[in-house]
Chains A and B, each alone.
Chain A
Amino acid sequence: MCNLSNNKQLTNNTSDVLHTALRCRHYAMCKVDFLGTGICPSGQKNHFVSFYPQGMMDLTAAVLENRIPVTTGIVQVANECTLCGICDTQCYFVTELRPLRVFQTLKNYVQDYLKSNAPVEVPSDDFLNKLRAITGEKYATNDPGLLMAYSNDPSPISFETMPRYVVVPSDTQQVSEIIKLCLREGVEHTIRGNGSSAMGFVLGRGLIIDTIRMNKMEFDTSNRAVTIGAGISAFELQKAAVARGYRVHAAEPSALYCANIMCSGLFSLFSSSYGTGTDNLIDVEFVSEEGNIFALSQRDSPNIYGFNINEPPIKAICTQAVVKLHPIEEDESAIGVPFSDMQSALTYAQKLNKRHIGLGIGVLGGEYLSTFISPTSALAQTLRNVFHKELGIEYLVVVLGNKHHLEAARDMAPVVIEQEVFRALILGIPALGEEGLIQILRGMEGEAKPYELLAKPQMLPIIEAALDPSPEQLSQAVDSDLKAIYKKLYSRTEFTDILWLNTFRIVSSRMGRDGHLLVYILYVPLDNIPQIEEIHEGFKELTHNCGVRGEFGFLTPIDQGAMGIFEWDMYVDHADPQEVEKMRIAMEKVAVMLDEFSQKDARVLWIRDVLNKGFSRKEAYLYHGANFS
């Protein structure tokens, strides 16, 4: 083994590379073509996450830190990488990381190593042979170089756990046979989606079943349905649905759709009309703990629809789902309604939902808004200041809908920021931070808040004259070698279309740009807004006291304004042990705080209560206090 720490001092360059490699957030955005620039060819060809940029970041860090030997698998990973650069644009768009030089370093390292060494080859064993008999030779491995990419997770409460095998089955039958094999051989198994579960629950010591190859997708538009395999991501499903004039209810673009439902149920701004839980599912196929295949539509299938807060989730693997298609209307668009206080924002959002107005509704915090629309972290910081201090926007209610929805929403809103203003603000973002327009608006001193003036329809020509919104202008904000590609990306109108951005959610993963994101999802009753404010204040105080960064994310009203899906986010540099320790303490305290709220009001549920119970009917958990059981 090439001992880097002894034989080669880490140069500054290598140190920078390692810094980048350790900071992959495992959001798997490199596994979907969200920019229309393609996907890593090596990953697509070889399937294991180890061949995708996400896995290669982990492998490179492990190699540079001398944590694993150079195996045949690692040599293959290094050789298969063409340094095409697709990952660099994708990763920069989301996190501002530049992985390309990491992979150049890996290739150089492996090349140097092979000059005087042979790669370590791990022999197959009986279990692996049996796995390969099910899936085919190249779809199962025990190479530690490849396994490394399945061994860790950025979550502060997960620890590196090296599996013995990884398998990438192609269909339900193979999954069934694999489960039966595991039972026979006494090997524990863990099912895994595209990235990580955000809390580190996809690690295991035995076999990891990676569903990425289960990529069946069959549309049945006459039944407004699409059948998908467990390897289909939300992005590719949505893209295919939109191409046919439909929309599915999807969440994070890189998440594998089935895994996402299983983990937490699907929620997004569209939950206010499309619902959550099983609302969007026509049928689901599972493989049971025993390896038996069953569908929810069978009368004798286990009752996965049910919910009991005290019972563990049913251990079954979702292998296929039949998902509802929602028609898209031609006149759909979006508006934003700014507020300076939470109560007014929540009240407005709830009123809309009560009256069935809008396809999607979300109360967004300033952090969300500025991070989503800013191409860089520095600009996001500037924008936070602009929205919060200069314009007085604390919350923005985004309403998605057809023209009738939006007319009603405008009618009920104190102030409306139209789509065209959003487009101007996004494309003119570098100029927003400069002295000029915003200071003029703030200096008006009148009864109208600065954002009210900004939102006036007459102001658009002035905003445009001041900001010169254009793809060229926006591209000024990014690294010089990426300007041309950003100019091209932002020439596409969808990149500034609030409805499209919410449909495909390609910018929501920017939440992790400043560090790994810990998402706290709560279901809260909307008839008690002071309680929501209390929870919000509790989070604020707790994160402040623990010295960690946290912000309100969003709240979406659901089920006619009865309940809200509430997200609060905390951020951690997962490669910094001190920060991780602080975050662990904060997480313990958050758990205590949320349990106290749940005890006071049983309708307050949080992610821990519903984890891996995402196939429950939403009514069964939202109103679990009314259940017979």
Chain B
Amino acid sequence: MSNSPILITGATGFLGGFLAGELIKSGRRTILLVRPKGNDSAQQRVENLLRFLNIKAKYEPVVIPAQIDRPGLGLSQEHRRILQNVPEVLHCAADTSFAERKKEQVETTNLQGLQNVFDIVPNCERFFHMSSAYSAGTQEGLIKEEIQYPPGFHNPYEQSKNEAEKLITDLCWEKRTNLTIFRPSITYGDAATGKSLRFNALYFPVRTMLFIRDSLKKDILERSGKRAAGLGASINENGSMHLPLTFPGSGQLNLVPINFLVKAVTAIMDSGETGIFHIVNPKSDTIGQLAQNIERHYSISGLEVADEVVQDGPLQTLINSYMDVYYPYFCDKRIFSDYRTRKMLEPFGIECPELTSAVFKRCMDFAVEAGWGSKIRV
């Protein structure tokens, strides 16, 4: 393991936070670029992160307040000098918004931000770039671990991640910097502890279901129940809540837990390998399994899966609003080859665990406990 410092961006985000935690825990010297948030300084946010991850640092991370979408990252001369000779960068900062109306903001962070970070480390020898499996865009079928040239993209996020891969490839080529690109699929919490820092993607449908369940249960038990009845909801004899809802069902759902991602990424970083690595689950899930898990663990019935959703009642409107956005990921026609990744990880016995019913419950229970993130201050 190298003892030279590594610069980490996005260190208080989901992937960057867990990766920063692991590198700090393992005794790496780290420099973290962190955006102050609300009343919390960059330093405070990192302290909160380490407390959340329960990590004691052997070497205290050097925390530098920064805004990557600003040229020069808004750094002081002193901080620029510190970064002058940084040999390694793990770039995790990203804007993960999908909406077209946020395109400019996404491009600024994911493209201009990347350029800004690269410019600030003129002597960088190795650049680790966190991309996404979904930079493959609207292609279907097998997606290889190489730069992709898809016919289109589902949203500005995918496009920005694809363009960022090309940008960083060119930048590293020009400066003879070693480049490793990681492409994770949908990432959820730690399969062992349930911990997570972000509660969208897999979590949001569950959150929505529980919100609907609790609101309507209250209506039935504490009020007249007229509103629940109007929505076709009722309480079953066993006390579970019947919600007449349909999920779009074809295709697959590729999910990896954050603890696997951390192990895989750090192992590849340590290996010195360059190139592109899919951090994906060889065994995809389905939305049907997701619906089953929600029903099993959260006293809900009535969830159906169909190729085409025709129902358009109030509850379905709410679910569809989300599913419309996540459809390409929940009903995925892409198959991600992880040949290079598996080849790297097999010698270490690192495998992606399944999203079992128990793991699902552990992660969702943590999310509920954490108020879907509202009680976590990082």
Q: Are B314 and A440 in contact (CB under 8 A)?
A: no
Counting CB contacts under 8 A, is A408 at the interface?
no
A389 CB, nearest partner CB in chain B, Å: 11
What B residues does A465 contact at CB under 8 A? 215-216, 219, 227-228, 231
Interchain CA distance A437-B211 in the complex, whole Å = 8
Interface size on A, residues (CB 8 A): 23
- What string of 1s and 0s marks CB contacts (under 8 Å) between A447-458 and chain B? 111000100101
Given A435-B374, A445-B97, A446-B324, decide whether A440 and B317 contact each other with a Cβ distance below 8 A.
Answer: no
What B residues does A435 contact at CB under 8 A? 371-372, 374
Given A458-B312, A461-B314, A465-B219, decide whether A443 and B227 contact each other with a Cβ distance below 8 A.
Answer: no
What B residues does A468 contact at CB under 8 A? 218-219, 223
Interchain CA distance A465-B228 in the complex, whole Å = 7
- Residues 525 to 570 of chain A near chain B (Cβ within 8 Å): none
What A residues does B98 contact at CB under 8 A? 445-446
What A residues does B207 contact at CB under 8 A? 440, 443
Residue of A nearest to B374 (CB): A435
Q: Are A459 and B211 in contact (CB under 8 A)?
A: no
Counting CB contacts under 8 A, is A466 at the interface?
yes
Counting CB contacts under 8 A, is A464 at the interface?
yes
A423 CB, nearest partner CB in chain B, Å: 14
Counting CB contacts under 8 A, is B236 at the interface?
no
Residue of B nearest to A439 (CB): B372
Interchain CA distance A628-B114 in the complex, whole Å = 63
- Name the contact of A466 in the complex, choosing from B99, B211, B325 (C-beta under 8 A): B211
Given A436-B215, A461-B314, decide whether A446 and B372 contact each other with a Cβ distance below 8 A.
Answer: no
Given A435-B374, A437-B211, decide whether A459 and B100 contact each other with a Cβ distance below 8 A.
Answer: no
Residue of A440, A456, A465 ringed by the most chain B CB atoms within 10 A:
A465
- Residues 276 to 297 of chain A near chain B (Cβ within 8 Å): none
- What string of 1s and 0s marks CB contacts (under 8 Å) between A495-522 and chain B? 0000000000000000000000000000
What B residues does A464 contact at CB under 8 A? 227
Q: Are B231 and A443 in contact (CB under 8 A)?
A: no
B102 CB, nearest partner CB in chain A, Å: 9
Residue of B nearest to A436 (CB): B211
Q: Are A459 and B314 in contact (CB under 8 A)?
A: yes
- Residues 397 to 420 of chain A near chain B (Cβ within 8 Å): none
Counting CB contacts under 8 A, is A444 at the interface?
yes
Interchain CA distance A357-B313 in the complex, whole Å = 32
Counting CB contacts under 8 A, is A157 at the interface?
no
Given A445-B98, A446-B324, decide whether A440 and B227 contact each other with a Cβ distance below 8 A.
Answer: no
Residue of B nearest to A464 (CB): B227
Query: Secondary structure of the B side of the interface?
Result: helix
Given A465-B231, A466-B215, decide whether A444 and B321 contact each other with a Cβ distance below 8 A.
Answer: yes
A544 CB, nearest partner CB in chain B, Å: 19
Interchain CA distance A444-B205 in the complex, whole Å = 10
Q: Are B313 and A446 in contact (CB under 8 A)?
A: no
Given A443-B200, A461-B227, A465-B228, decide whether A449 and B374 contact each other with a Cβ distance below 8 A.
Answer: no
What B residues does A456 contact at CB under 8 A? 317
Interchain CA distance A440-B371 in the complex, whole Å = 12
Counting CB contacts under 8 A, is B318 at the interface?
yes
What B residues does A453 contact at CB under 8 A? 318, 321
B159 CB, nearest partner CB in chain A, Å: 15
Interface size on B, residues (CB 8 A): 33
Interchain CA distance A34-B207 in the complex, whole Å = 43
Residue of A nearest to B372 (CB): A439
Counting CB contacts under 8 A, is B208 at the interface?
yes
B100 CB, nearest partner CB in chain A, Å: 6
Residue of A nearest to B318 (CB): A462
Q: Are B322 and A444 in contact (CB under 8 A)?
A: yes
What B residues does A460 contact at CB under 8 A? 314
Q: Are B313 and A447 in contact (CB under 8 A)?
A: no
Q: Are A440 and B230 in contact (CB under 8 A)?
A: no
Interchain CA distance A459-B218 in the complex, whole Å = 18
What A residues does B219 contact at CB under 8 A? 465, 468
Residue of B nearest to A467 (CB): B215
- What string of 1s and 0s marks CB contacts (under 8 Å) between B53-81 and chain A? 00000000000000000000000000000
Counting CB contacts under 8 A, is B204 at the interface?
yes
- What string of 1s and 0s marks CB contacts (under 8 Å) between B304-346 and chain A? 0000000011110110011011000000000000000000000
- What string of 1s and 0s marks CB contacts (under 8 Å) between A286-319 and chain B? 0000000000000000000000000000000000
Counting CB contacts under 8 A, is B212 at the interface?
yes
Q: Are A459 and B318 in contact (CB under 8 A)?
A: yes
Residue of B nearest to A446 (CB): B325
Q: Are A445 and B322 in contact (CB under 8 A)?
A: yes
- What string of 1s and 0s marks CB contacts (under 8 Å) between B349-371 and chain A? 00000000000000000000001
Residue of A456, A462, A466, A468 ringed by the most chain B CB atoms within 10 A:
A462
B245 CB, nearest partner CB in chain A, Å: 12
Residue of A nearest to B227 (CB): A465
What B residues does A459 contact at CB under 8 A? 314, 317-318
Interchain CA distance A444-B99 in the complex, whole Å = 10
Residue of B nearest to A470 (CB): B223
What A residues does B212 contact at CB under 8 A? 462
Q: Are A446 and B99 in contact (CB under 8 A)?
A: yes
Q: Are A443 and B204 in contact (CB under 8 A)?
A: yes
- What string of 1s and 0s marks CB contacts (under 8 Å) between B92-104 and chain A? 0000011111000
Interchain CA distance A446-B327 in the complex, whole Å = 11
Interchain CA distance A446-B98 in the complex, whole Å = 7
What A residues does B374 contact at CB under 8 A? 435, 439
Q: Are B231 and A462 in contact (CB under 8 A)?
A: yes
What B residues does A462 contact at CB under 8 A? 212, 215, 231, 314-315, 318
What B residues does A444 contact at CB under 8 A? 321-322, 325
Interchain CA distance A461-B371 in the complex, whole Å = 24
Interchain CA distance A45-B374 in the complex, whole Å = 56
Interchain CA distance A436-B101 in the complex, whole Å = 24
What A residues does B97 contact at CB under 8 A? 445
Residue of A nearest to B325 (CB): A446
Given A437-B211, A445-B97, decide whether A458 and B322 contact each other with a Cβ distance below 8 A.
Answer: no
B338 CB, nearest partner CB in chain A, Å: 27
Q: Are A447 and B227 in contact (CB under 8 A)?
A: no
Interchain CA distance A444-B211 in the complex, whole Å = 14
A563 CB, nearest partner CB in chain B, Å: 32
Interchain CA distance A468-B225 in the complex, whole Å = 11
Interchain CA distance A465-B313 in the complex, whole Å = 14
Given A440-B207, A458-B312, A466-B211, decide whether A445 and B99 contact each other with a Cβ distance below 8 A.
Answer: yes
What A residues does B317 contact at CB under 8 A? 456, 458-459
- Residues 195 to 219 of chain A near chain B (Cβ within 8 Å): none
Interchain CA distance A397-B264 in the complex, whole Å = 53
A456 CB, nearest partner CB in chain B, Å: 6
Q: Are A440 and B325 in contact (CB under 8 A)?
A: no
Residue of A nearest to B233 (CB): A465
Residue of B212, B321, B374 ringed by the most chain A CB atoms within 10 A:
B321
Interchain CA distance A443-B207 in the complex, whole Å = 10
A88 CB, nearest partner CB in chain B, Å: 31
Interchain CA distance A458-B98 in the complex, whole Å = 24
- Name the contact of B318 in the complex, choosing from A436, A440, A449 (C-beta under 8 A): A440
B154 CB, nearest partner CB in chain A, Å: 12
Given A443-B200, A459-B318, A461-B230, decide whether A449 and B211 contact each other with a Cβ distance below 8 A.
Answer: no
What A residues does B228 contact at CB under 8 A? 465
Q: Which residues of A contact B (CB under 8 A)?
A: 435-437, 439-440, 443-449, 453, 456, 458-462, 464-466, 468
3 closest A-B pairs (Cβ-Cβ)?
A446-B325, A465-B227, A458-B317
Q: Offer 14 A-B interface pairs, CB within 8 angstroms, sorted by A.
A: A437-B215, A444-B322, A446-B99, A447-B99, A453-B321, A458-B317, A459-B317, A459-B318, A461-B227, A461-B231, A462-B215, A462-B314, A464-B227, A465-B231
Q: Which residues of B contact A (CB under 8 A)?
A: 97-101, 200, 204, 207-208, 211-212, 215-216, 218-219, 223, 227-228, 230-231, 312-315, 317-318, 321-322, 324-325, 371-372, 374
Given contacts A445-B204, A453-B321, 9 further A-B contacts (CB under 8 A): A436-B211, A443-B200, A444-B325, A445-B98, A445-B200, A446-B325, A458-B313, A461-B314, A468-B223
